[in-house]
Structure 1
Amino acid sequence: MKLTNPQIENLYKFTRQHYVYHYDVQTELVDHLANDIEEIWQAQPDLSFINARDKSFKKFGIFGFMDVVEAKQKQMNKRYWKILLRFAKEWFTLPKIITTALIFLGFFIVLQIPYSEFILLGTLLIVIIFEMIMIYKVRKERKKKEKNNEKIFLLEEMIGTTKNGFTVMALVNLFNIINLTNFNFLEMETYLLVIISFILTVLCILFYVSNYVIPEKAEELLQETYPEYKIVKSL
């Protein structure tokens, strides 16, 4: 016995009710549930759809779909990092390497200015505030999409939120390190200033790539990851 379209739709609603928010993860779980329900019906043909569905769901254990969701998040997180590094590497090839070198020199020069730590702290604080505002806007947009029952893919949300979470965490940690350790860059050896300038340059590139480059290429990346993305979004 095959599942009907209304029963498939019921499975999508069922996964959503159990805190699976992303369409691609829902689809994977619905496929698994549908196949399992059909196997259950072969052994127990008189069992109702709801009972067969609940019996299949129990096989996921006490945490339900959470283990599957976490596994998919880890998998997509790795993919996001590969995308991030792919675009970041471009900044170390011509002609962008020239801009990268100028950013590095800019940091190196600033670090040798008196009270440079305060300049960095002030800049970091402004960037952190900007990032927090962006996170708020992205989350507000997600709630709007959920309210309109729009289908949201896992990578789609990562492009909007995970990047901000990573950037904020990195910037806050850097802010704390500079603020709590009372760095005096003028007393540091040149090689240390070079290392710090390089780290700041890399963070700057990651910030730009995650906040501007990847979002601009979001449609292309999502279609590359999900062959069904364009069709689903047009429904």
Structure 2
Amino acid sequence: MNKLTEEQIQELYTFTHDHFVYHFDLQTELVDHLANGIEVLLLQHPNLSFNEALQMEFKKFGVFGFQEVVEERRKALNKKYLKIIFNFYKAYFTIPKIMLTVILTILLYTTLSSFTPNYQHSIIMVLYLSFFAIAFIRLTKYNTILKKKKHKWMLEEILLTQMGLFSLFQLPIHILNMPVEIESSHFLGLMSFFNVSIIILFYVMVFQIPSKAEDLLEKTYPEYKMTKTL
């Protein structure tokens, strides 16, 4: 079977983009499908031109073109990528990291127990506001970098959304850290563990996962290296 040329493959990428498929990972799956179909058609009908075979193959997608297929693949990739992100979280929490969580919890508990509830709340607020500011800067930088890239990648946009949601998630957490009148060491210990866990999750989400996602995209899509700027 005659393989398509590199120039024809690039034409297929342009064709998918012109038909409203903007994520490069989704484009790649469609290009592979189109290329295989076109190669079969050209083998069966040698007199067909590349463009004629492309139009014949495109008609198989129906009146809505790539819309239905893209929606199905988007859902599948979204599910796949969210599972990958969850696995990144699991991989991070090894025994040393669990021990670090315990140590940080004890340190925070010891610090907070030296102050009244009002001061405890202020300390937690300062802690969260500091991390919220870092998250905002990181989120803005990441968003700017993605906008400059020639190709859009669905995994990166999912990460951007997750980072934004995680930052917003911190706001209602402040309610849980409101000072209480009952001085309970159990409550203070639980609050310390909860806050340390959130901060560690924040670190993993904002700093660790984006770099791991880049490695994943490089291994899955060799073309990613050409568009990498982060």
TM-score over 0.5 for the pair? yes
TM superposition score normalised by structure 1:
0.72
Confirm or deny that 1:134 pairs with 2:138: yes
SS in 1 for 2:178: coil
Give the Cα–Cα distance (whole angstroms) in 1 for the partners of residues 161 and 123 of structure 2: 24
Give the Cα–Cα distance (whole angstroms) in 1 for the partners of residues 145 and 134 of structure 2: 17
- How many residue pairs end up in the alignment? 219
Confirm or deny that 1:205 pairs with 2:209: no
2:91 maps to amino acid = R
Partner of 2:26: 25
Instruction: Give 1:137 shift.
Output: 1.3
Give the Cα–Cα distance (whole angstroms) in 1 for the partners of residues 127 and 208 of structure 2: 21
Partner of 1:73: 78
CA contact (8 A) 1:21 1:152 kept: yes
CA contact (8 A) 1:37 1:53 kept: yes
Partner of 1:178: 174
Q: Which one is further off, 49-58 or 196-205? A: 49-58
Give the Cα–Cα distance (whole angstroms) in 2 for the partners of residues 140 and 171 of structure 1: 17
CA contact (8 A) 2:16 2:30 kept: yes
CA contact (8 A) 1:185 1:193 kept: no
Confirm or deny that 1:145 pairs with 2:149: yes
SS in 2 for 1:187: coil
Over 3 Å counting, the alpha-carbon distance change for 1:126 and 1:182 in structure 2 is closer
Give the Cα–Cα distance (whole angstroms) in 2 for the partners of residues 232 and 125 of structure 1: 35
Residue by residue over 1:202-229, the C-alpha shift from the partner in whole angstroms, topping out at 9 and shown as x without a partner, is 2222222233334555665445x42x53
CA contact (8 A) 1:37 1:52 kept: yes
CA contact (8 A) 1:128 1:168 kept: no
Instruction: Give 1:139 shift.
Output: 1.9
Give the Cα–Cα distance (whole angstroms) in 2 for the partners of residues 128 and 191 of structure 1: 27
Give the Cα–Cα distance (whole angstroms) in 2 for the partners of residues 211 and 6 of structure 1: 38
Partner of 1:105: 106
RMSD: 3.4
Which 5+ residue runs of structure 1 have no aligned equivalent? none
CA contact (8 A) 1:37 1:56 kept: yes
Give the Cα–Cα distance (whole angstroms) in 2 for the partners of residues 182 and 43 of structure 1: 70
Percent identical residues: 32
1:25 maps to amino acid = L
